Structure 1
Amino acid sequence: MRASDKAYEELRTDIVEWRLRPGAVLGEVEQAERLGVSRTPLREALARLVADGLAVQQRGRGAVVSDVSLEHIDDLFALRRALEIESARIAARRADPAVFTDLRTRFLDAGKGADPESRESFYHLAAELDHRIDAAVANPYIQQSLRSLRVHLARVRRLAQDDPARLAVSALEHAAIAEGIAARNPDIAAAATQLHLHHSLEHIKAHSGTREDT
């Protein structure tokens, strides 16, 4: 992996996981030393973060982690619905049913624990479902659009405080999506996706607030 790619991936993860909070200054010297890269690849990584909307350039401060706002959450979910519902339909026609049958079973067992490790395992499983759907769809334009969108949604999701009760329900919703795809039924897969996105949006609106340091 190139040094600039390494720096980009690590900074991107730190921003999404709130280890680097909104407003944090991404000082070139400090971050280059922390990540073990020189300043040239770090500048390339920072430029990519700015292009992604995860950082902004401020006069006199350099790159700063961008703010997270719920102001445009409806717009984000409008795009998410368009992309993910259509993706579920396509996946139901193209995907290997065995893969999604297995995912359904794993989702039914997921999201039961309240400890951080269980929550992280659930997020990894949800990301695997996304990856499997993307692979079945095999549309690079949809994949690129979703990749950018998911980064911002992950940051917004963290504002809702990773509520264990919501994660348990979300696991069942994901299981229903996987079940619809495994059954090769585009209408069921699309309806399950639409229901999940509706509940996700309502939960974020109802439970988001100022995130405290932990």
Structure 2
Amino acid sequence: MRASDRAYRRLREEILDGALAPGTVLGEVEQSERLGVSRTPVREALSRLTADGLADQAQGRGTVVSSVSLGDVDLLFELRLPLEMQAARLAAQRGDPERFTALARRFAQAEDALSSAADAVPEDQEARYYDLAEELDDAVAQAVDNPYLTGMLRSLRVHLVRVRRLARDEPARLAESAREHRSVCTAIASGDPDTAGAAMLIHLRRSLAYITGRAASPADSPQT
């Protein structure tokens, strides 16, 4: 893997994980020393992060981690709803039913595990669940086989990951999300595009309602 790719992946992960907070200055020299690569790969990585919307050019400060807010969620979902629903519909028409049936079983297992969590889901279990959700995204992307649609969704999901972390999903919501994802997988496996689109719409509307509710709660809304 090229040095610029390694630098990009490392910085991207740290931004999405929150290790690099909004407003953090991403100086070339500092990041070069920290990541153990020369300044040229870091410069290339910062350009890619800026193109992704994860970094901005701030006057007098250089490249900084871009801001994110729960208030952005309505704007993001205006795009997400039609794109995700169309992707689900196409996956139902073009995808491998067995693959989505297997994913449905794994989401059912995840729902059982998450339902048994008390006040908080262990970090490793939460990480495994989100990895499973990414597997579903990848399966849909491969089934759709439309680089324009999947490219737009991939860019959009980057920002949704950051918003989701701000909203801090509770165990009950994660269990509900697993159940909704299972329904999406089952609908796609059925080969019925209308059912798949409807299942995706239900999941997205419930996700939006949850995040909006968190944003409306002063006690839960972090400042960025």
Question: Shorter-normalised TM-score: what interval?
Answer: over 0.9
Judge which range, 176-185 or 26-35, deviates more. 26-35
Query: Structure 1: 5+ residue runs without aligned partners?
Result: none
Q: Distance in 1 between matches of 2:36 and 2:171?
A: 36
Q: Give the distance between the partners of 1:186 and 1:169, measured in 2 at CA.
A: 22
Aligned residue for 2:134? 127
**Aligned equivalent of 1:140:** 147
Decide whether the 8 Å contact of 1:161 with 1:211 is kept in 2. no
TM-score (norm 2): 0.91
Is the Cα–Cα contact under 8 Å of residues 119 and 162 in structure 1 kept in the other structure? no
Partners of 1:47 and 1:145 in 2: CA distance: 19
Q: For structure 2, list consecutive stretches of 5 or more residues without a partner in the other structure.
A: 216-220
Measure how far apart 1:59 and its partner are: 2.3
Greater shift, 64-73 or 78-87, is seen at: 64-73
Q: Considering only aligned residues, what root-mean-square deviation do their CA atoms show, in Å? A: 1.3
Count of equivalent residues: 212
Give the deviation of 1:75 after TM superposition: 2.0
What is the CA–CA distance in structure 2 between the aligned matches of 1:172 and 1:142, rounded to whole Å? Answer: 25
Q: Helix, strand or coil for the counterpart of 2:64?
A: strand
How far apart, CA to CA, are the structure 2 residues paired with 1:192 and 1:131? 18
The residue aligned with 1:210 is 222
Task: Report the secondary structure of 1:56's partner residue.
Answer: strand
Q: Given residue 210 of structure 1, which amino acid in structure 2 is its aligned partner?
A: P
Residues 1:159 and 2:187 are matched in the alignment: no
Identical-residue share of aligned pairs (%):
55
**Structure 1 residue ranges (4+ consecutive) displaced by more than 4 angstroms after TM superposition:** none
- Take 1:71 and 1:110, find their aligned partners in 2: how far apart are those partners? 29
Q: Which of the residues 160, 164, 175 maps onto 2:182?
A: 175
How many angstroms apart in 1 are the aligned matches of 2:164 and 2:28? 28
TM-score (norm 1): 0.95
After superposition, the Cα gap between the structure-2 partners of 1:131 and 1:185, relative to the gap in structure 1 and judged at 3 Å, is same
Question: 1:15: how far off?
Answer: 0.4
Alpha-carbon shift at residue 138 of structure 1 (Å): 0.2
Q: Give, in whole Å, the separation in 1 of the partners of 2:148 and 2:86.
A: 13
Question: In 1, Cα distance between the equivalents of 2:149 and 2:37?
Answer: 32
2:29: which partner in 1? 29
Letter in 1 for 2:222: T
Equivalent runs, 1:57-136 vs 2, <5 Å? 57-111=57-111, 112=114, 113=117, 114-136=121-143
Shift of 1:9: 1.2
